[in-house]
Amino acid sequence: MIIQAGNAVAAWIYLWMTFQLGFYESTDLLPRGPRLPPKHEARYLTAFEELMLRWKDSDVEFFVPQLAAVLMSKGVPSRNVHITQLVVGRLSANLQQRCFGNIGLAVQMMWQFEAVGRRPQEDGPSWNAFKNSYVLAALNGDNLPEQLRMQRRAYCADSMAFVDTLMDIGDSLKKLPIKRRLSALDNELGRVNRMLLRRMQTRGASFEIPGDTVAGGGGGGGGGGGGREWLNEHDVAAVCPEVSHHAIHLPIKVLKPGQPAATRAVRVLRLCRELCRVLPSKEKAPYLVVAEVLQTSFSYASDRLYLEGGSAGVTCEDVVNKKTLPQALQEELLRSRGQDVWEDQNQDEASSQSYQLELEEADCLFFDRATNQYLTSGDPSSPHIKNMREALQVFGTTSAALERMVRHQSPFGHLKGWKLAHFIVKSGDDFRMEALAMQVIRLVDSIFKREGLSLRLRPYSILCCGEMKGLVECVTDAKSIDHIKKFTAKSGGIRTFFERMYMGKTSGLYGRAVDNFVRSLAGYAIVTYMLQVKDRHNANIMLDTRGHIIHIDFGYILGSSPGWWNHESAPFKFTQDYMEIMGGPGSDKYERFRELFLTGFKAVQRHMREIETLIWPMFPSSDHRMTTQQILFRKRFMDFQTDDEIMRLVDDSVRSWTTGQYDDFQQKTNGYLK
């Protein structure tokens, strides 16, 4: 299997790669050679056009970084300049047309262009004009009535202003002493809350703060300072759900654990200031944001996001007149007519309890469905229950418990679809590489599922918001191994922590947790080997409440590493702690790990070209030859043909002494426990 059936975007990118590099092993369409005969040019362009007609919006959104890279290859020397110019021109026209009907896609494309700065092959004005064409596509729409066009412009501008404000806060925090950052963050987030409330209060007419202050604050609203109290968040909540239609949506997609992709947008109500905090970093000052959001029934590509309830500026004549409204928008308005996706304040109590129970059971290993009780609610005098409760303190308040607590206190908690979103605002890193790593993880996770394998990965959302800045979804109900080791330093190592938290080695709970550990360890072993992920100290590897290993922070991949010397030479990280949790060499769990690694590795081999469609466009060739990264990426999997050769990667990782050496280095320099 070369490319997943039905994914025309991946097939298009692969066809583009074969032309640029001069090999056509997947097709007899063209002969080799530096110059294509005219008769083959027509066949090649026809193939591109046919694939482009089959593109799905969801696939286009997934491959935005790669398609943007193809557009930016316009000035790179090509095997055939004529075809390159035609293909890139038609690609640009296709994407711009899609951006007219998809604000999210247009903004993502614009941010991708900003992330690379000015292209050296183009002068400033022409490059800026190229980027601005996507800004205009986002703002204007296609064949919209003037009133809707104005709403779209205002909504798009406010959404981008919201993200820019969050990024500006991070930049301002860098300039402050560490001790002053938290109070400064609280003040700035109060200002953002006033902007969010202002937009709802004015029903989308204003996103600016007129100099007055919001009254109260409670869980996450207010702001300090003097001035007339012109607005109270309880007053705004009292007229919900109507005004909540005017809240802007969060551009980063909020996922649930195990969810392959988010399909529904969430609107931002307010930021929970008392839960937000500055993360440890002297130079970059990233900070965690916890926001109250509303799950909508609209996709991120829907024009309904900016229609503010579908009433302002839209008449019955607009709805039925196909010449006035785009077909997709006209159909969506008709479908949603008379439907209220929000829940009123007098929602049924049983429905609320059902929603809370859903939150509790969603991803909790400790809920016993047979007794309909939590295992932690057992006899407190039992040593196992006592040890479990103590071990769970490592993770603090679970996301489900935090969500129930905030929802109970929030004036917006009565709304249907209310939830908390956790994300990190960062600047100073190249988010294109982090986003690329997460694309690969998401694709490999889908490959495992398609192949019926039980290997486990935890994709999370990463959004590049321009040059060296972005938003990262926060992984909840998980702590770094460094944190766990520091918390349990006096009570033993990770293996002892597992035994205490999961009621002893003989319990079924312990067996399920270790199985989760093994399945996730095998999955990340394959991915980190594939991408050559470095900087794998214990602060960048997490353990969740169910026993899964989760890797974070992918700033060093595909040949890059921190410092001038690469300490990490093992195929992937495997420590003695991991071996002890599985029961040692020769144990059933260790043998299962080896078996999962082998089957997962072979599955990735079968889908290697599908994965290459993500990697190769990001490292374009300047001389029609495969780049070093492209060659090494393919060799890492295709050079291993037998089971013994594949399993040698596991043996080399288990025996590697450089893994422990790097952990020693990080413990001495940064305090991350080995």
Q: Are residues 132 and 150 in the same domain?
A: no
Q: Are residues 60 and 156 in the same domain?
A: no
Q: Are residues 135 and 150 in the same domain?
A: no
> Crossing angle for the helix pair 124-140 and 146-174, nearest 10 degrees?
120
At residue 376, the pLDDT reads: 54
Q: Tens digits of per-residue pLDDT, 285-322?
A: 899 999 999 888 877 767 677 765 544 444 434 443 44
Q: Are residues 54 and 161 in the same domain?
A: no
Is position 155 within any domain? yes
Q: Tens digits of per-residue pLDDT, 487-507?
A: 887 777 888 889 888 888 888
Which of 140-149, 266-275, 435-444 has the weakest average pLDDT?
A: 140-149
Confidence band for 636, pLDDT divided at 50, 70 and 90: confident
What is the torsion angle, in degrees rounded to the nearest 10, for the CA atoms of residue 154, residue 159, residue 162 and residue 166? -150
At residue 220, the pLDDT reads: 46
Return the amino acid letter for 427. Answer: S
Is position 413 within any domain? no
At residue 559, the pLDDT reads: 79
Are 181 and 278 in contact by the 8 Å Cβ rule? The answer is yes
pLDDT of 425 > 50? The answer is yes
More confident: 355 or 144? 144
Pairing status of strand 213-215 against strand 229-232:
parallel
Is position 526 within any domain? yes
More confident: 128 or 643? 643
Is position 409 within any domain? no
Return the amino acid letter for 201. Answer: Q
Q: Are residues 162 and 292 in the same domain?
A: yes
Q: Are residues 264 and 123 in the same domain?
A: no
Show which of 311, 333, 348 is a domain's final residue: 348
Q: Are residues 260 and 278 in the same domain?
A: yes
Q: Are residues 534 and 507 in the same domain?
A: yes
pTM equals: 0.84
Q: Are residues 122 and 194 in the same domain?
A: no
Is position 444 within any domain? no
Q: Tens digits of per-residue pLDDT, 250-273?
A: 877 765 544 445 567 889 999 999
Compute the distance between CA of residue 446 and CA of residue 657 in angstroms, rounded to an integer. Answer: 33
Phi and psi torsions of 550, nearest 5°? -135, 125
Are 85 and 73 in contact by the 8 Å Cβ rule? The answer is no
Number of independent structural domains in the chain: 3
pLDDT of 526 > 90? The answer is yes
Residue 168 domain boundaries:
146-348
pLDDT of 119 > 70? The answer is no
Average pLDDT over all residues of the chain? 78
Q: Are residues 117 and 238 in the same domain?
A: no
Q: Are residues 177 and 69 in the same domain?
A: no
Q: Are residues 173 and 250 in the same domain?
A: yes
Are 444 and 457 in contact by the 8 Å Cβ rule? The answer is yes
Q: Which two tokens stand for residue 399?
A: 């996301």
What CATH number is attached to the domain comprising 602? 1.10.1070.11
* CA distances, 67 to each of 72, 430, 531, 661 (Å): 9, 18, 20, 40
Is position 375 within any domain? no
Percent of the chain with pLDDT over 90: 32
